[in-house]
Amino acid sequence: MKPKIVRSVESLRREVARWKADNLTVAIVPTMGALHQGHIELVNEGLRRADRVVVSIFVNPKQFGANEDLSRYPRDEEADIEMLALAEVPLIYAPMAEDVYAPGFSTSVHVQGPATVALEDKYRPHFFDGVATIVAKLFIQSAAQYAMFGEKDYQQLQVVKRMAKDLNIPISVIGVATIRDQDGMAMSSRNRYLSKTERTQAVAIYKSLTQAAEKIRTGTNSQTATRAASRSLSTLGFKVDYVTARNAETLAVPTTAGEPLRLLAAAWLGKTRLIDNLAV
């Protein structure tokens, strides 16, 4: 069945209120469209947790910097709707930017903690306030009980969890494991920017993280292992923003032996910025 598409907050609220009147639980899956199997896995997990899922599709201008890829970000609503129909999503919320940020819009959610650990925040200074603002709006607008977020954007997942907790928004933020292509490359809408050759090269990010994780597991110091991963990516032609091991929850630089670690990487391949991360 084709999903119902709503574009206003009022219609979204009406649909969700109807479900809730029938005692059905609701999960929201926030996306920027250009959907792939990673997004669908969030939908599937949402349907396991809740009775109904609403997928939002909105390319949020507030999370893009002036020199970033907002204007060329891939948009394909028709294909997205088809994928969501196959995944049996009943409701899509696809608002217009001029409605989301109506004239006079003056409020921003400013996040710190996991949003200020010199990872994505260092290279994309406005990103997390932009994400927190739109996600807080989506949580309030949808009144969903569950929200599904990918571990692919690991720092974002921690920031969103923190934000929902700090603002007392009654929603459970659920992290979903990264879906990968057969070679291990993390699926991403931005992979569409890669040429065929670049796509073949790009898996090196995953491979270098896997190798670093293996080294750490067998006793190598985490800094030594991530430095080697960074060097090997540079040698292969990547411009590395960071490859680092952090505390898996706070994302702080690890200080004690035996802390749970997460390896995180961001690197440019040509004109495309790619991120990935892995548990140790």
Nearer CB in complex with ligand AMP: 176/225: 176
Nearest to 55 by CA among 24, 25, 90: 90
Q: Minimum distance between the CB of residue 219 and ligand AMP, rounded to whole angstroms? A: 30
43 and 55 in contact (C-beta within 8 Å)?
yes
Q: Give the whole-angstrom CA distance, residue 7 versus residue 199.
A: 35
Whole-angstrom CA distances from 170 to 77, 127, 145 are: 30, 24, 7
Q: Which is nearer to ligand AMP, 17 or 79 (CB)?
A: 79
Could you tell me the smallest distance in angstroms from the CB atom of residue 50 to ligand AMP?
16
Cα–Cα distances (Å) from 198 to 86, 105, 203, 268, 273, in that order, read 30, 40, 9, 11, 12
**Cβ closest to ligand AMP, residue 159 vs residue 225:** 159
Confirm whether 39 is a catalytic residue: yes
Q: Are 268 and 241 in contact (CB under 8 A)?
A: yes
Those residues whose C-beta lies under 8 Å from the C-beta of residue 72, and which sit 6 or more positions away, are 193
Minimum CB separation of residue 77 from ligand AMP in Å reads: 13
Q: How far is the CB of 73 from ligand AMP (least distance, A)?
A: 9
- Residue 42: DSSP 8-state: H
Count of alpha carbons within 13 angstroms of residue 7, beta-carbon side: 5
Nearer to ligand AMP, 151 or 254 (CB): 151
Nearby residues of 219 by Cβ (< 8 Å), 6 or more positions away? none
Of the residues 36, 39, 110, 126, only one is catalytic, namely 39
Give contact residues for ligand AMP (rule: CB under 6 A). Answer: 31-32, 38-39, 41-42, 149-150, 152-153, 176, 178-179, 186-189
Q: Please say which residue, 101 or 149, places its beta carbon nearer to ligand AMP.
A: 149
Residue 123 CB, shortest distance to ligand AMP, in Å, is: 16
Catalytic residues: 39
